[in-house]
Amino acid sequence: MDKLSPALAESRLSEVDFETLIRLGRSPEQKLRMSDLAAQTSLSTSGVTRVVDRLEREGLVKRVACASDRRASYATLTADGLARLEGVIPRHVQDIETWFTGLLTPEQLDTLLGTLRVIRDVVRPCATAGAAEAARATACAPAATVPDQAGARKTIPNQAGPDERLRSKA
């Protein structure tokens, strides 16, 4: 993905860092169980632990213990992580539009997205691990909250995922 690398490099994010942050950012309450994050990113549990350790040292994510299961923990996007993500997304989406989706008609884009979902579900069946349960739990939530730098809660409206954003441009 050489066409997308400059935007990530400018934001001091590797591709796996960006994928981790975007998956957390798109999840209800901007958090995922570590095991679900590993499944969604196709990383081993030790691999996702190393990524989260690095992102935690940078202040972009934090680990939170699961209140109902002492064996589990969540990776949670911090205010700084959200700010970094919000800083790179406009350029990332613009690059995707320029180099990929903007080259297609709306019909071609619909066909491509449908085809990619079929392939994803076969090749990476865990790509949406934890998403269905979390979505059901927050189906009526109009917004999410995250802590800001001072520790106060900041409300972030739920946003459409990339598929919906791309469709709205067509």
- The more confidently predicted of residues 99 and 143 is 99
**Cα 74 to Cα 109: distance, rounded to the nearest angstrom:** 34
**Cα 122 to Cα 34: distance, rounded to the nearest angstrom:** 22
pTM above 0.75, yes or no: no
Count how many Cα atoms sit within 13 Å of the Cα of residue 104 in the half-sphere of its side chain.
Answer: 17
pLDDT of residue 118: 93
Q: Give Cβ neighbours of residue 150 (< 8 Å, ≥ 6 apart).
A: none
CA pseudo-torsion sign 136, 131, 134, 165: negative
Per-residue pLDDT band for 1 (boundaries 50, 70, 90) equals low
pLDDT of residue 124: 81
> Would you tell me how many other CB atoms lie within 10 Å of the CB of residue 15?
11
Look up the CATH number of domain 5-164.
1.10.10.10
> Averaged over 8-14, what is the pLDDT?
86
Bridge partners, residue 73, by sequence: 65
- The two tokens of residue 119 are 């392939």
